[in-house]
Every structure is written in structure tokens, then in C-alpha cells.
Amino acid sequence: MNKREQNAGFVCEHCGAQVEPLTNGSYRNHCPFCLYSKHVDVQPGDRRSTCHGLMRPVGLAYKRKKGYQLVHQCLRCGVVRVNKVAVDTVQPDDLAGWVRHATGPAGPRSRVGYGGDRSR
């Protein structure tokens, strides 16, 4: 497979969007709109996985050297992968939209661990 084929656009299998290839020199491996990916790689970019399950975005990680990274989990085999977010390109990742969707209208779950008033 040559580089031009690898960097071709694709139709997202989750939301059906037509996804354009990245214009910043990297290889697009997830949808910029719903952020779903597909389990096609054993090593990033090698396309040697036989799973081909959809990979759901489950979180954001922040690495000091690499910036924000998306955490994906495969819906078929359960493997977890960390992927670079796509920025400085056509169709950049809609991270703000995903965070809104993932946390709901009430915002992040800041009350996790809140056990009620036990001061009495």
C-alpha cells in the first residue's frame, strides 16, 4: 500500500460523514465529527489488525510533550488505544463538541464522590 492510498479520505462508519484526508502531513485514523475510530492497526499506521471493530472515544489524555490525545476503546475486542488529535488541518477534531456530548448539558460530573451532608 502506498502513502497516497493510506492517506485517502473515508466515510465514517459511525456517523456517515465524508472525512477528508489530513492536510498537516499526518495520517487520519478517526472521524473528526464523532471521533470514532476503527481498529485496523496493530502498530499505528500498519493496518494489519484483523479486528476492524469500531473504536469508541472514551476519554481525553493530556501529555505534556504531545498535547491532547484521544483514548479509544474497540467495541469488538476491547483494546484501548491512544491517538493524536487532528489539528491544523481541514476538518479538525470537534473536541469541544465531543466533550459537551460526553458530559451532558449539566457539564462535567463534578459531584462524583459527593456523599451527602454527614456533618450532623
The set of cell numbers assigned to 31 is 472521524
Give 76 or 109: the residue with its C-beta nearer to Zn ion: 76
Instruction: Compute the least distance from the CB of residue 102 to Zn ion, in Å.
Output: 14
The closest of 68, 57, 50 to 30, measured between CA atoms, is 57
Q: Could you list the residues that contact Zn ion (CB under 5 A)? A: 12, 14-15, 17, 31, 33-34, 39, 51, 53, 74, 76-77
Instruction: Compute the least distance from the CB of residue 68 to Zn ion, in Å.
Output: 18
Cβ(74)–Cβ(39) under 8 Å? Answer: yes
Instruction: Compute the least distance from the CB of residue 74 to Zn ion, in Å.
Output: 3
Instruction: Compute the least distance from the CB of residue 66 to Zn ion, in Å.
Output: 23
Q: If residue 96 lies in a helix (H) or strand (E), which one and from where to where?
A: helix 95-103
Give 58 or 63: the residue with its C-beta nearer to Zn ion: 58
CA angle 15, 8, 25 (to 5 degrees): 110
Q: If residue 97 lies in a helix (H) or strand (E), which one and from where to where?
A: helix 95-103
Give 22 or 31: the residue with its C-beta nearer to Zn ion: 31
